[in-house]
Amino acid sequence: MDDIHANSDNQANADNDGRKDLEKQIADLKNDIANITKTLSERSEQTYQDLRAKGGEAYNRAADTARNATHQVRAQAHAVSDAIKENPGTAATVLSSAGLIGFLIGITVGQAIANSHNESRRWW
């Protein structure tokens, strides 16, 4: 009978030791996960700051480019306006010719589209 109690005590001690080992491993894993989370958080913050700085630089460059383009468009519009004031007949001829060419291109494209749609709907 003492052997049975001794075996039971040994088994209980082994189970208790195994449980303590598992609890220690779980605690170690929790610490490792906390460290990894902290490292990832620090790296994410640094990456965010870097991207934010680069984004600000890109925005400033784009704003400068847009500002320069706006000035150029205004200057060219002013030059065109002056040319139209100096030569109103030529300007009218150029604009009406451009309108007529655009109208003819529109008709041609419309006919081509209409013909392609009609051919695809035929049953033969």
pTM of the complete model = 0.39
Q: What is the pLDDT of residue 118?
A: 64
Q: Can you read off the two tokens belonging to residue 23?
A: 């609890």
79 and 105 share one domain: no
15 and 75 share one domain: yes
Does residue 124 register a pLDDT over 60? no
For the chain, the domain total comes to 2
81 and 96 share one domain: no
110 and 67 share one domain: no
- Span between the terminal Cα atoms of the chain, in Å: 100
62 and 104 share one domain: no
pLDDT per position as a tens digit, 14-27:
677 778 888 888 88
75 and 100 share one domain: no
Domain that holds residue 51: 2-86
pLDDT per position as a tens digit, 68-81:
999 999 999 898 88
pLDDT per position as a tens digit, 82-93:
888 888 888 889
